[in-house]
Amino acid sequence: MTDLNKITIKEAHEGLKNKSFSAHELANHSFQIAAESESVLHAHLILMQDEALKSAQDTDKRVLKGDMLGLLDGIPLSIKDNLNLKGNGTTCSSKILSNYISPYDATVVKKLRENGTIFVGKTNLDEFAMGSSTENSAYGPTSNPWDPDYVPGGSSGGSAAVVSVGSALGSLGSDTGGSIRQPASFCGVVGFKPTYGSVSRFGLIAFASSLDQVGPFARTAEDAKIIYQAISGHDPKDATSLNIERKDINEGSSARIGVVKELMGEGIADNVKVEIERVIKLLEAEGNNVTEVSLPMTKMAISIYYLIAPAECSANLARFDGVRFGLRSGGNTSYEMSENTRAEGFGDEVKRRILLGTYALSAGYYDAYYGQALKARSQVINEFSEVFKEVDYLISPSTPSTAFKFGEKTSNPLEMYMSDLCTIPANLAGIPAISIPTGVDDLGLPYSVQLMSPELTDISLLNFSSYVEKIVGFNNSPTKWRKKP
């Protein structure tokens, strides 16, 4: 009998096709794991068992006819709760959208439906994707499957945790400054942020429109590739969607790999550096050419990001005014009603970023702050373009440290923001980046490595990541989640 606890998407597809097990059995196994783990982890906000089992029956009928829809037919996936899934709530883990029901599917959800995907449920996140620990959810935090006393990362902490524990074989998240790669790193799974514009954002509730990107979590880079290929492509409903052919990196016997100097220095924990150096030695032993490269503007990345992202968030979240949809609080005037709605509906971190962004966009300050940040961002893009003339891939830590405990950084927002030190540069440049688990620290918490490549080379990066996975040989699974805290 196939071990469904460690099965990959590719293996599950082969098992379904060969009738080793049914889609109904596979879906039931996901809900069994959810039943065991949700009281500890709180990774899902809703579970969709009735709908999922009906979809599984449809897959099983197609299997009998030899007419499967593709590699994701019958595969249980979960969706981050800032992506619209028709007929279900989409809350963004915020009180202000507590009563909102999605009237349509996000493009990525529609594409998964067309591939026969089974939806397990909607996953928890930091409110409106603003955070690095999933402690900012209005519906309570998610715990890390490797140790429930630790955070799973954020903002897509729920999407990372469900893949780590096995209640879904893959999931979708969104990445604005590292919100896929950072929780993937903390939860010991693969998290992939595609090239900006290569995956439609239609139906994703926006945080920062020039930075947001939908991407997959999975157990392997190969599985992430399967999901990416299903959801990517031009979408006329998304004005930022790219209609450009992908580029490929020559996948010969060796690769040119650049170690980002600025992401191996101050702010990175010593044990994380040691782990990255271990992976680098493994790559060199395989005949790859590894050299140090410098990207000086990465030191400015967090400062640039925390002007651009809050500015765009203040514009995007202006629509939540109590008039059109979502929560509405009382008031004697329309102004008072909007003020009361936002005061009650938004959490502290969301309010903080709206205030920062509104200030940066205000008259007299726009050129000095937001305008300057955009100019600096152009320099970041140019630096990446130049360094990719010399190397094929860049390597760095995914995060400055392994997972931290609940409450450890909540009193100091600036310290929390530093969790995205390694991931933000790729968002500013719009390039693909991936986090791959590589080992565990002395506390049994996962280490990871981040790989980056030029824009539109997503498939090459995913293929190279599969190669790195084989060299590293990491296949540990979390167990502490079974011990209730």
Long-range interactions of 364-372: CB distance < 8 A, separation 24+: 369/307, 369/311, 370/307, 370/308, 370/311, 372/307
DSSP 144-199: BTTBTTB---SSSHHHHHHHHHTSSSEEEEE-SSSTTHHHHHHHTSEEEEPPTTSB
Distance CA 49, CA 40 (A): 19
**Is 155 part of the annotated catalytic residue set?**
yes
Whether 179 is catalytic: yes
* Sheet of strand 433-440: strand arrangement: 44-47, 118-123, 76-80, 170-174, 214-218, 190-193, 433-440, 446-452, 393-396, 256-260, 289-293
Task: Report how far residue 427's alpha carbon sits from residue 305's, in angstroms, rounded to the nearest whole number.
Answer: 9
Instruction: Out of 37, 179, 185, 435, pick the active-site residue.
Output: 179
Inter-residue contact 170 to 223 (CB < 8 Å): yes
Concatenate the DSSP letters of all residues of 72-128 into one string: TTT-EEEEETTB--TTSB--TT-GGGTT-B-SS--HHHHHHHHTTPEEEEEE--SGG
- Residue 273 annotated in active site: no
Catalytic residue among 10, 30, 78, 80: 80
Q: Which of 155, 314, 401, 465 is catalytic?
A: 155
Q: Enumerate the active-site residues.
A: 80, 155, 179
